[in-house]
Structure 1
Amino acid sequence: MDFKTLDIFCEVIDNYGDIGVVYRIAKEFKKSFNDSLEIRVILNRLDEFIAINKNCEKKEIQNINGITYITKDFLIKNICTFETSDVIIEAFGCNIPNEYMEIAKEKSKLLINLEYLSAEDWIEDFHLQESPLGLKGLKKYFYMPGFTKKSGGLIVDSLFLKTKETVLQNKGKYLKKYLENFEIDFSDKLIGTVFSYEKNFTPLLESLKKLDKEVILLIMGEKSQQSFVEIFKNISVENFGKTYKYGKIYMKFMDFLNQEEYEEIINAVDFNFVRGEDSFVRALLTGKPFIWHAYLQDELVHMDKVEGFIERQTEYLRENHDIKVIEKQNKLLRDYNFRKENTLEIGLEEYDEFFKNFKELQSMYFDYSEFLISECNLINKIKKFIVKY
């Protein structure tokens, strides 16, 4: 299908993951099609987008790097002046305004229901299945992101891959950029990021104390930082402003990073603790050891997602890597995520094996990232589907 216009709808609730994914998709489509494709992103609110994109302002309509960003309220108020697009992406089951859909039924060609990332088996059966609208013109299809060739894949955008390559070639430069106050040699330090929901990290600090090297933890996000503040009430730490020292462990509380800055830093460090969906995928694509904190859901539904990912990574990794190391990493992922509520109670997880098997984990996740980049590229897959439609 020859398409000239693309509208992406996103409903931001209370986090940066949804807009983060939509922002990446919009940028990559723009890079691929340049001026031949007009792209609009319709958002219900701007606060989270302003936080991750320094060019965004509190405006109802604005153009950023060739992409038009519009608030949903502005769209509804001015619907009589808008033409709907050839292709519509409905991100994560958001509600597209009825005023828009009434026009789209007659004018638009393809509606893609982009679902949340999932590693569960059943998504392959639903991927690219039609969702009947009962219309002659506009057709709607499910698009199911996942970790296999038969799924919709992961967002592997060329901008991220370029950043990854640049950072790896200039690692010292980027570490100095984000650790400007550390007058130390980074080459013999273990450096990691921590971005989580509420979590008691006392067991992590105890494991790190056993290592024969100094450690730097870059603590990101209010929930992660507050979790460490609570720990500091019970242990003796040296306070250097936004940096704390506990034995040979340095903990730096980071200011909020935009999307591009976050991509730089997670590629520069040795390991990443991440949360949600967007940072989870970024951690995977770095090819570095990581631990994922899944978004908490009622009745332990989030554990189904964790188990699904464990199954997918084990299927791929077991052919070329030590199954005992894989199983220990899987146990850590389960224990780290098992909770009925987000609390600061000490969980089941133990981190000793993560650092004991660190070199093998480096090899494992490098291989896994190469597979995901080459065989599970959502951007390429979704563009191919639209063009062939």
Structure 2
Amino acid sequence: MQTGRLWDIFCTVIDNHGDLGVCWRLTRQLRDAGQRVRLWVDDASALAWMAPTGHQEPGIEVRPWAEACQASTLQALPPADVWVEAFGCDIPEAFVAHGVTTRAQQPRWINLEYLSAEDWVPRMHQLPSPIMSGPAKGWTKTFFYPGFTPDTGGLLRETDLLARQQSFDRAAWREQHAPNLAPNVLLISLFCYEPAALPQLLAQGVGTPHHLLVTPGRPLAAVQLALAGMPEQPHWSALPYTDQNGFDEMLWACDLNFVRGEDSLVRALWAGQPFIWHIYPQDDNAHHDKLEAFLDWMQAPESLRKAHRVWNGLEASELPTLNAMLMADWTACVQTAKQHLSNQQDLVRQLVRHTATPL
């Protein structure tokens, strides 16, 4: 892989850390691939717990978004080889204008899109997008779509991920975070928005006894609100904020993971444990088709499809009853999906290869 190229990645924080989570993983993995990265972000506060050493990591600069509009800052910076707009954000016009006036040719300009399993994604992946107006008129961006199939941009995956998983002490983690857990009790992690079916889960309405590990922020607030009207308290405990490696370890340790958004969905797939995805809800219900496309790609058994539909409010029904046979089916499904993904090139390798080719 070509080394030493400089990347500018732009990120606006919209959805409760998810955008920043993906961009930070991308930044770290590019650095580990020998690249140098400047991450421009409008709200980096979550990095305090997501990446406690982030501002001191070699090969990485975290810069306030506002500085991308300051002429004195831009004049002092070496020009980057690659610009990345994450999730449809727009690079500040002052930054673009400075680049146009100070460089002989345009950088590789990537529009890194949202993750989807829908069938149009491969058709859109790597399509050029000519810029028709503004200071960069005549330049070209390229759409880059992460995805689940070989004809897309792939997923973020660290080169040492498998080794970390193999050396992970699952029993020790469980003893620390859920001590004295009975053998027949499922350990379930909860990272969600505000699902209508949450009271079912809290009321032990899924059949098998379980202990919930509730992540901070919106999941904890949703649980506390739902518990206010419940006569019996479920078995649960609240987790503190953790860095990204700690979040991965939680997914590896639990028997079932409820995840949300984009970053934790990918991490749940790499964990290889059964999971239920709370997709980001959209006003026009476009997320319904997106969810169904993902379940189709995963070849999810009907029980797992039903769990997703109920959890996401597509179906007003009861969550499936968890039992050994159902959990084995879900595990087999996720493990098969993980294997397929492991055989494909990851997102960073594809990005580095793509941007190394001449315009």
Q: TM-score, normalised by structure 1?
A: 0.82
Whole-Å Cα distance in 1 between the matches of residues 348 and 38 of structure 2?
A: 17
Partner residue, 1:352: 321
Q: Quick one: structure 1 residues 145 and 354, their matched pair in 2 at CA, closer, same or farther if it must change by over 3 Å?
A: farther
- Residue identity matched to 1:49: L
Partner residue, 1:282: 267
Give the CA RMSD over aligned residues: 2.5
- Residue identity matched to 1:229: Q
Q: How does 1:309-320 map to 2 (within 5 A)?
A: 309-314=294-299
- Residue identity matched to 2:112: L
Partner residue, 2:151: 150
Whole-Å Cα distance in 2 between the matches of residues 188 and 338 of structure 1?
A: 29
Match of 1:104 among 95, 99, 104: 99
Offset of residue 257 of structure 1: 1.9
Instruction: Please identify which structure carries the higher helix content.
Output: 1
Partner residue, 1:260: 245
Q: Quick one: structure 1 residues 330 and 376, their matched pair in 2 at CA, closer, same or farther if it must change by over 3 Å?
A: farther
Say whether residues 1:331 and 2:306 are aligned partners.
yes
Aligned length: 348
What SS does the aligned partner of 2:46 have?
A: helix
Partner residue, 1:216: 211
Whole-Å Cα distance in 2 between the matches of residues 304 and 143 of structure 1?
A: 21
8 Å Cα contact 2:206-2:319 kept in structure 1: no
Match of 2:129 among 128, 131, 143: 131
Partner residue, 2:356: 387
- Residue identity matched to 2:115: L
Whole-Å Cα distance in 1 between the matches of residues 91 and 309 of structure 2?
A: 36
Match of 2:230 among 228, 232, 235: 235
Partner residue, 2:66: 73
What SS does the aligned partner of 2:146 have?
A: coil
Partner residue, 1:59: none
What SS does the aligned partner of 1:125 have?
A: helix
Whole-Å Cα distance in 2 between the matches of residues 166 and 350 of structure 1?
A: 34
Partner residue, 2:27: 26
Q: How does 1:170-249 map to 2 (within 5 A)?
A: 170-179=169-178, 182=179, 184=180, 187-199=183-195, 200-206=197-203, 210-211=207-208, 214-237=209-232, 246=234
Q: How does 1:295-310 map to 2 (within 5 A)?
A: 295-310=280-295
Q: Quick one: structure 1 residues 368 and 79, their matched pair in 2 at CA, closer, same or farther if it must change by over 3 Å?
A: same
Moved more, 220-229 or 275-284: 220-229
8 Å Cα contact 1:127-1:151 kept in structure 2: yes
What SS does the aligned partner of 1:131 have?
A: strand
| Residues 76-129 of structure 1: CA deviation (Å, up to 9, x unaligned) | 222222232011111111121112112333354201110010111111111011
- Residue identity matched to 1:100: F
Whole-Å Cα distance in 2 between the matches of residues 136 and 296 of structure 1?
A: 35
Residue identity (%) = 28
Whole-Å Cα distance in 2 between the matches of residues 262 and 378 of structure 1?
A: 20
Offset of residue 331 of structure 1: 2.4
Say whether residues 1:113 and 2:111 are aligned partners.
yes
What SS does the aligned partner of 1:148 have?
A: coil
Q: How does 1:1-16 map to 2 (within 5 A)?
A: 4-16=5-17
What SS does the aligned partner of 1:298 have?
A: coil
Offset of residue 188 of structure 1: 4.5
What SS does the aligned partner of 1:375 have?
A: coil
Q: TM-score, normalised by structure 2?
A: 0.88
- Residue identity matched to 1:257: T
Q: Quick one: structure 1 residues 65 and 82, their matched pair in 2 at CA, closer, same or farther if it must change by over 3 Å?
A: closer
| Residues 148-186 of structure 1: CA deviation (Å, up to 9, x unaligned) | 11111111222544432222xx1112223433xx2x156
- Residue identity matched to 2:188: G
Partner residue, 1:17: 18
8 Å Cα contact 2:10-2:39 kept in structure 1: yes
Q: Show structure 2 runs of 5+ residues with no match.
A: none
What SS does the aligned partner of 1:193 have?
A: strand
Q: Quick one: structure 1 residues 186 and 379, their matched pair in 2 at CA, closer, same or farther if it must change by over 3 Å?
A: farther
Q: Quick one: structure 1 residues 102 and 137, their matched pair in 2 at CA, closer, same or farther if it must change by over 3 Å?
A: same
Whole-Å Cα distance in 1 between the matches of residues 342 and 22 of structure 2?
A: 16
| Residues 175-216 of structure 1: CA deviation (Å, up to 9, x unaligned) | 23433xx2x1565532110111112423224555733xx422
What SS does the aligned partner of 1:47 have?
A: coil
| Residues 123-147 of structure 1: CA deviation (Å, up to 9, x unaligned) | 1111011111367995421001111
Whole-Å Cα distance in 2 between the matches of residues 384 and 177 of structure 1?
A: 42
Offset of residue 2 of structure 1: 7.5
Whole-Å Cα distance in 2 between the matches of residues 209 and 270 of structure 1?
A: 14
8 Å Cα contact 2:306-2:319 kept in structure 1: no
Match of 1:83 among 75, 78, 86: 78
What SS does the aligned partner of 2:62 have?
A: strand
8 Å Cα contact 1:11-1:95 kept in structure 2: no
8 Å Cα contact 2:131-2:138 kept in structure 1: no
Match of 1:38 among 26, 36, 43: 36
| Residues 229-260 of structure 1: CA deviation (Å, up to 9, x unaligned) | 233333334xxxxxxx53xxx21111222212
